[in-house]
Amino acid sequence: ANGDLEDKGKGGTTFKWYRGQNQDGTGKVPIDGATSQTYTLGIEDQGQYIFFEVTPVAQTGVLKGSPTVSDGQGRVILPSSMNLDGTVTDQKTDEKIADATVILKDLSGNEIDRTKTDKDGKYSFNKVKLGKYKIVVENPQYSTKTTDIDVMPNSSNGTVRVDVSGNLTLTKDVELVDFIITLVADPSSIVGDGKQATTLHALITDKDNNPIPGIKVDFSALDGNSSIGSFPGGSEATTDHEGKCSVVYKSANLSGIVSKTVVVRAEVNDDNGLHAVSEILVTFEPSSIQGIVVDNEGKPIEGAIVEVDEEIEGIRFYAKMITGIDGTYKIAVPKGDMNYKAKITKPVVVNGVEWGKVTFTHTCEVGEITGVAKESFDSLKTITGVALLKSPDGNVQALNGPSYEIELIDDEQNPISTGELTNEGIFKVDNLAPGTYTINLKHDVGAGQKLTIGKAEATVTADGEIVISTILIDPYGTVTDKETGRPISGVTMELYWADTQLNKDNGHTPGTLVVLPADPAATNNNANPQPTSSTGYYAWMVIPDGDYYIIAKKSGYYTYDSRQDKRQETIGNSWIKDGIIHVGTDIVLYDIVMDPRDSDRGSGGGSAPIGPVTPPVIPPTENTSNIVNPQNPALVVPADRLTKKEILIAAINQYNEREKVTAQKENRAPRLISVGDLNESDYAISSSNSSIADFDTNGLLNISGKGLFVIRISEKGTNNVYEYQMVASQGLQRLAGANRVDTALAIARGSYYGKVKSVVVARSDEFPDALTGSVLAYKKEAPVLLVGHSETDCQKLIEYLKGYLEPQGTVYILGGTRAVSQYVEDSVKDNGFSNIIRLGGADRYGTAARISEHLDVTQGRPVVIASGQSFPDSLSVSSIAAAQQFPLLIVNPNSIPDEIREELLQRNPSKVYIIGLQGAVSDGVRDEVAQLTGLGQENIVRIGGQDRYASTLAVAQYFDPSGRGVSIATGRDFPDALAGSVYSAKLKDPLILVGETLSTDLKNYLKVRKPSDIVIFGGQGAVSPAIEEQLKSLVE
């Protein structure tokens, strides 16, 4: 623009740049921020025409002339790549750093290239494709530095130069320090509407990754050299004890339909000599995609990683965020009229254990972007998930192959879609209408006949929703010994056609072995006959729409014939009735219990002998009250200076109360100890743990620690030894380990000091066995230990037994070998612990019945019933049931398994407590309980709340345990609360489950209860530090 400009008036001249798709200028739009005489082209200009406008100052007359616009220049064709170079220096000394490793990565962390700095600290990469990257610089004398870089002709976080040949080079220098600033934006792209915000998280650590607290961090955002956007809560923050701090950054309100990349900086300039800057890139985009990630129960999935990674017009676009507590995501995107695929990565949990992380895809169809409305597009309503197969050895793997398919059925039973599984076992159906759907996993068993081997339900309710399901196929029936509960290997399993009209009509000859095609999804490749595996498993993939019966044979056992088994069960469109197993299209799991012949039973199984037990001085287990209110154990606080005589009197009073109840049961006169004639010198009194409490020379109990301990009282001249449990006031403490197995061990060590006479061992990946075993563990004064399937877990168990179990102590193993493997049992034996009692049934309900049988409580005791499918309700009552010795039985939501029905009949309870509302245990089950027990509705009490947290509070309020403390565990998983249930029972404390926050109702309950002690089970990942801080304020 060569206008007639007057130098002294040049300050009034204005410049503007425009871009557009038409050379004649129609539809051109101004370029944000382009108001100088020069403009550097960017990726948004690719394929566009560029226009320059100048409004000059005239030399004479009118102060300002008319705007003049150039012809359109272009179309713009940008180079596909640039060179990248820079110098690496020491931030403090400015010295050049040689031999530093410089790594070029894309934004998702994939390495593109690497090089080393030369003697002058310089590095270079040639022909780097245009886009956004990370530069990672490593040197052993410094902390690793990671910097975002925008490799573009108009890059704002480096210097762009042009050589004589027209090649572009971006120079980005890097300064190294001996500490690290890690800066992350969540999300990394936002809509430029002046409203949407991202959270900037900074982490400061030393080069050994130790957090540095108390450091002030200044945040800023630059477009070139100018600030852009805003910090609503301020741009400064100070690192906490974890070295973390964060601020909220809000986008600028931009016009147009193009992207803008902003350099965000976190800068430290500390008085202690810490000086450094970290930079990342945040992109303002003209529109966004959004969605909601939920599970098949409709619960939001928090913490899922959502990534968008697309190549757009030769340039890679990448953005990332993490879903919050509501499961939502919103990611700003740069271009309309295309489909984006959001990759959602979340852990898949199988039986309470993380199996692995799986990535699912959520598609969003983005239409035209106008730049005015800042449009947001909902992703498609989608049902997706992963299909997994459990192998006979207990391992789980993704299911794939052409013989498997997914069928989606709507709530009117209309097929909506069918599709194959990917190689990763993933299925997906898009464009669904709101409603509830059934997901059928079908398996082709030959000749085009398909058997439904797995099912799930999913409900789609909202726009943009993706429902993620996990279908675990566990197709194995199990054969177990009736006496020992152990799986039986090597049983010959035979499958026959039953004598029914259906089979005859279909051309099958009754009484003949069924000929089945080979199938790797079954055991023994679907052979018939087939032997059971080492874990007692068998499985056939059978022909749908047929009637069958099973013969099981093994030397030493009576032959099993399913035609003599009168069980009745319906499984979808399959059923079991009158000894016939009808398979429609739904798989039938058929467990078998075999009865050993009398002459062949041998000495295995049964209960190990138990030596004489001295009467512990504890609260009586028999309580005639409908409300649990046993006498408290003594609570000792540092102000207490109890004498030996005071403790002795309290102990004898408790022993006398127990002896009265025992004598009445045995129809004899009670053998009481007279407190009035008490001679203190007849007894020796000591503390089990001198690190917590011990007697001084004056016979006063001094408290020096916190936690449980036992006062042992020996009656001189006799073999009578009494134990009196006490607790030193502990305020708030956390019992935790690195994982669920270690947490159980930490709780065990915190509950019992010295040697124990028994331990209870249960599987760590499912809850029912350990849950129903908590009552047994309390009765046997035994810690609950959890064990997984790894060698490490087994070794940890053995180490605990060696350190804490008496040599002749008893190990109770809950469940069959599918639950706790034979290897674990053999390892226990091999290490010298021969008194092993395995209490297991054909399934979780059979195991619960076996445990209940072993409790040896009197008929008429109240019984607790809870769901065997969901853990929170039953966990809430576990410590109370243990303390009161109420058998804890589990049921299906809509039916009572045969083993539990038989146990109820044997128990003849005087009262039944049902834990949970109708969704957990239906009114139909309640009515069946009434019919079986003959109890009126006034003696069948349902206790529950609207969710797991309301239920746990309702249980605590109803039973009102008499201890002075409270136990806390996460309600999102079961192992910590399971292991802690006996600890809570020992103290007569309620066990409360919590989520991400403490509810108002729970806070009010704790304020009224005024606990002097609160124990948290599990680490900070289970119960957060924020909740711990709230609880501290509630301890009296």
What does the chain come to in residues? Answer: 1036
Tell me the backbone φ, ψ of residue 824, rounded to 5 degrees: -65, -45
Which pLDDT score is estimated for 89? 93
**Residue 662 to residues 39, 53, 780: CA-CA distances in angstroms?**
95, 102, 17
Q: pLDDT > 70: what percent of the chain?
A: 87
- Binned at pLDDT 50, 70 and 90, residue 236 comes out as very high
> Are 696 and 820 within one domain?
no
> Are 389 and 461 within one domain?
yes
| CA atoms within 13 A of residue 293's CA, in its CB half-sphere | 27
Return the structure tokens found at 676: 């009035």
Which pLDDT score is estimated for 86? 95
Query: What number is the average pLDDT over the span 802-814?
Result: 89
Q: Give a yes or no: residue 605 inside a domain.
A: no
> Are 294 and 279 within one domain?
no
Which pLDDT score is estimated for 64? 65
Q: Give a yes or no: residue 479 inside a domain.
A: no
Name the more confident of 618 and 359.
359
> Are 422 and 490 within one domain?
no
Q: Give a yes or no: residue 615 inside a domain.
A: no
Query: What is the CATH number for 337?
Result: 2.60.40.10
How far is Cα 174 from Cα 102, in angstroms, rounded to an integer? Answer: 10
> Are 863 and 742 within one domain?
yes
Which pLDDT score is estimated for 250? 92
Which pLDDT score is estimated for 429? 93
Final residue of a structural domain among 438, 473, 508: 473
CA angle 474, 476, 481 (to 5 degrees): 130
Q: Is the pLDDT of residue 751 over 80?
A: no
Q: Give a yes or no: residue 679 inside a domain.
A: yes
Which pLDDT score is estimated for 140? 80
- Binned at pLDDT 50, 70 and 90, residue 9 comes out as very low
Q: Which residue range is the domain that position 751 belongs to?
A: 731-1032
> Are 291 and 278 within one domain?
no
Give the sign of the dihedral formed by CA 750, CA 753, CA 754, CA 758. negative
Which pLDDT score is estimated for 754? 67
Lowest mean pLDDT among 408-412, 874-878, 948-952: 874-878
Which pLDDT score is estimated for 523? 76
Q: Give a yes or no: residue 135 inside a domain.
A: yes
| CA atoms within 13 A of residue 633's CA, in its CB half-sphere | 27
Q: Give a yes or no: residue 628 inside a domain.
A: no
Helices and strands in the chain: count of H runs, count of E runs: 14, 65
Name the more confident of 614 and 707.
707
- Binned at pLDDT 50, 70 and 90, residue 3 comes out as very low
Q: Is the pLDDT of residue 552 over 50?
A: yes
- Binned at pLDDT 50, 70 and 90, residue 767 comes out as low
> Are 467 and 508 within one domain?
no
Lowest mean pLDDT among 90-94, 427-431, 617-621, 824-828: 617-621
Q: Give a yes or no: residue 617 inside a domain.
A: no
How far is Cα 556 from Cα 595, in angstroms, rounded to an integer? Answer: 9
Which pLDDT score is estimated for 1020? 82
Mean of all residue pLDDT scores within the chain: 81
What is the 3-state secondary structure of 304-368?
CEEEEEEEECCEEEEEEEECCCCCEEEEEECCCCEEEEEEEEEEEEECCEEEEEEEEEEEEEECC
> Are 743 and 713 within one domain?
no
> Are 210 and 296 within one domain?
no
CB atoms within 10 A of CB 239: 22
Which pLDDT score is estimated for 353? 67
How far is Cα 931 from Cα 410, in angstroms, rounded to an integer? Answer: 37
Q: Is the pLDDT of residue 305 over 90?
A: yes
Q: Is the pLDDT of residue 246 over 50?
A: yes
> Are 643 and 735 within one domain?
no
Q: Parallel, antiparallel, or unpaired: how do β-strands 101-106 and 111-116 relate?
A: antiparallel
Lowest mean pLDDT among 79-88, 125-134, 448-457, 920-929: 448-457
Final residue of a structural domain among 69, 95, 122: 69
pTM over 0.85: no
- Is residue 840 a contact partner of residue 485, using CB atoms and an 8 Å limit? yes
Q: Give a yes or no: residue 726 inside a domain.
A: no
> Are 714 and 738 within one domain?
no
Lowest mean pLDDT among 253-267, 278-292, 489-503: 253-267
pLDDT tens for 624-648 read: 222 222 233 333 333 345 677 777 7
In the beta sheet, which residues pair with residue 202? 183, 245
Give the chain's domain count: 6
pLDDT tens for 944-965 read: 887 888 888 999 888 888 777 8
- Binned at pLDDT 50, 70 and 90, residue 611 comes out as very low
Q: Is the pLDDT of residue 610 over 60?
A: no
Q: Which of 913, 988, 927 is nearest to 958 (CA)?
A: 913
Which pLDDT score is estimated for 343? 95
> Are 359 and 239 within one domain?
no
**Residue 168 to residues 40, 165, 439, 850: CA-CA distances in angstroms?**
12, 9, 55, 78
Query: What number is the average pLDDT over the span 32-41?
Result: 80
636: CB partners within 8 A, 6+ apart: 642, 693, 701, 703, 726, 727, 728, 729
- Binned at pLDDT 50, 70 and 90, residue 255 comes out as low
Which pLDDT score is estimated for 298? 85
Q: pLDDT > 90: what percent of the chain?
A: 21
341: CB partners within 8 A, 6+ apart: 308, 310, 361, 362, 363, 364
Final residue of a structural domain among 473, 501, 536: 473
